[in-house]
């Protein structure tokens, strides 16, 4: 069993009954290294997953079809951009049911509690699909196990397999080639998202051509959060500048986090508009989140932790 399959297995095994967390995806570094002949951009990204999460729950249904209800602070925002039948939660459930057609899994009533902002660069939709696959794979006793879940996830989107694992990893290719990494500590962060939507195609359209250097070599282990910050300062998010050109507020989120006196490092996540700031402790992150929320009351701001590599699970600061 390869390392990513093992990581998916750990994520499935760590889950509780009847509900599954869909953790926000944070791109700590995102290098766009080139472009394929079909137009897709090639990336290398160090990805971690936050404790702040959507929640996917399940209840047995008497209906012959899958059902989905959405609640939570971003339920209305999701309804504005996605029809229920197109939601990745339903698509993931339907794909898994087709894979298990011979076992006739019972249709489920799914409940999505939407706590991750929509179209924020935090991978909420992919995380929701991954959580659905983990949850129903367990509820329906899916025999394809973890590698089979990854194959189904990849058909839904390049980010879904990494969200299935929900562990620190390097993503390559168009995001589908993933490798869990050891030695990444849990990190206290603030996530901030202005009330704007940055469309990913518009960001990539402003990205200049040519090849760019890949990520620098990862150390075997980061001894501390400060070591991780020193490494991140050698890296980039190549989408940060074009996203700021598309929407100035995306640039403002990074600038305000960097200006906080306790912030060690700040950057945009993914293609924006959400940004993250790294802090020495969760208490420091919570104080910074309060300051930023007071200064920008219309923004979504939260303090949380990112999960560390399995071997680094005890290295975080609370």
Q: Which of 24-38, 114-128, 143-157, 164-178 has the lowest mean pLDDT?
A: 143-157
* Catalytic residue selected from 95, 146, 159, 238: 159
Give me the DSSP letters along 125-180: HHHHHHHHHHHHHHHTT-TTHHHHHHHHHHHH-TTHHHHHH-SSEEEEETTTEEEE
CATH number of the domain at 3-179, out of 3.30.360.10, 3.40.50.150, 3.30.1330.120, 3.30.230.10? Answer: 3.30.230.10
Average pLDDT, whole number, for the chain? 90
- 8 A C-beta contact, residue 56 and residue 20: yes
pLDDT category at 118 given cuts 50, 70, 90 is very high
Q: Is 10 helix (H, G, I), strand (E, B) or coil?
A: helix
* Peptide bond before residue 273 is cis, with ω within 30 degrees of 0: yes
Q: How far apart are CA 25 and CA 200, in angstroms?
A: 16
pLDDT digit string (tens) for 195-250? 998 888 899 989 987 778 999 999 999 999 999 999 999 999 999 999 999 999 99
Q: For domain 181-311, give the CATH number.
A: 3.30.70.890
Query: Residue 48: which of 13, 24, 17, 73 has the closest Cα?
Result: 24
Q: Which pLDDT band holds residue 286 (cuts at 50, 70, 90)?
A: very high
Q: What angle do CA 310, 277, 220 make, to 5 degrees?
A: 35
Active site residue 25: yes
Set 25, 54, 114, 260: catalytic member: 25
Domain boundaries, the chain: 3-179, 181-311
The pLDDT value recorded for residue 193 is 97
pLDDT digits (tens, 9 = 90+) for 40-81: 889 999 999 999 999 999 977 777 788 899 999 999 999 998
Catalytic residue at 159? yes
For residue 152, give every residue at least 6 positions away whose Cβ sits within 8 Å of its Cβ, in sequence order, or none: 92, 95, 96, 99, 133, 144
């Amino acid at each position: 069993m390869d390392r990513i399959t093992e990581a998916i297995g750990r994520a499935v095994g760590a889950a509780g009954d009847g509900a599954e967390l869909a953790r926000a995806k944070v791109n700590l570094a995102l290098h766009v290294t080139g472009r394929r002949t079909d137009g897709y951009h090639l990336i290398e990204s160090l990805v971690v997953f936050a404790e702040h999460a959507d929640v996917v729950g399940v209840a047995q249904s008497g209906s012959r079809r899958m059902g989905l209800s959405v609640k939570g602070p971003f339920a209305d925002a999701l309804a504005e951009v996605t029809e229920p039948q197109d939601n990745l939660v339903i698509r993931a459930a339907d794909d898994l049911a087709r894979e298990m057609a011979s076992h006739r899994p019972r249709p489920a009533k799914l409940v999505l509690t939407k706590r991750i902002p929509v179209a924020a660069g935090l991978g909420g939709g992919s995380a929701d699909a991954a959580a659905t696959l983990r949850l129903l794979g367990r509820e329906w006793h899916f025999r394809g196990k973890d590698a089979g879940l990854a194959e189904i996830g990849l058909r839904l989107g390049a980010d879904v397999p990494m969200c299935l694992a929900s562990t620190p990893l390097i993503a390559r290719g168009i995001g589908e080639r993933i490798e869990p990494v050891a030695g990444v500590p849990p990190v206290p962060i603030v996530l901030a998202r202005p009330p704007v939507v940055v469309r990913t195609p518009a960001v990539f359209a402003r990205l200049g051509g040519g090849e760019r250097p890949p990520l620098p070599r990862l150390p075997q282990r980061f001894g501390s959060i400060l070591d991780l910050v020193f490494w991140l300062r050698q890296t980039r998010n190549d989408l940060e500048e074009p996203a700021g050109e598309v929407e100035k507020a995306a640039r403002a989120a990074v600038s305000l986090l960097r200006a906080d006196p306790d912030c060690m490092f700040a950057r945009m996540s993914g293609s924006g508009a959400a940004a993250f700031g790294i802090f020495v402790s969760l208490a420091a992150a919570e104080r910074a989140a309060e300051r930023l929320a007071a200064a920008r009351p219309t923004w979504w701001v939260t303090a949380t932790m990112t999960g560390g590599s399995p071997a680094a699970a005890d290295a975080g600061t609370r």
